[in-house]
Amino acid sequence: MRSRSMLHKSKLEDFAKWAEERGWKRQKTKGDYEVLRMKWPGEPPMIIYTKLEAKEHYTTYEIGDVLVRQWIRDRKQECGQGDMK
């Protein structure tokens, strides 16, 4: 699964901190398009990408997509289902 419109570019660090609090470890990114690479022991890395034509959002795949969705749900709960700005 892939999404190109869930993780806004202004929220990358918030998402990364959330993942780190849950045990994910940052790794050095590879190539020009990776903006975040994180690892859970024994699993493939979670990678968040940028695309040149994408002005506002990053692209997520597989576990990154799942984690971003969970992060969004957690943020909504913290905000009482209101605006997440």
The verdict on residue 84 lying in a domain is no
51 pLDDT band (50/70/90 cuts)? confident
The verdict on residue 59 lying in a domain is yes
How far apart are the C-alpha atoms of 15 and 20, rounded to whole Å?
9
Average pLDDT over residues 20-49: 95
Say whether pLDDT at 57 is over 60. yes
The verdict on residue 17 lying in a domain is yes
* CATH code, domain with 31: 3.30.310
Structural domain of 6: 2-78
How far apart are the C-alpha atoms of 47 and 39, rounded to whole Å?
9
Say whether pLDDT at 45 is over 80. yes
Place of tokens 């040149």: 52
The verdict on residue 85 lying in a domain is no
Say whether pLDDT at 82 is over 60. no
Provide the pLDDT for residue 2: 59
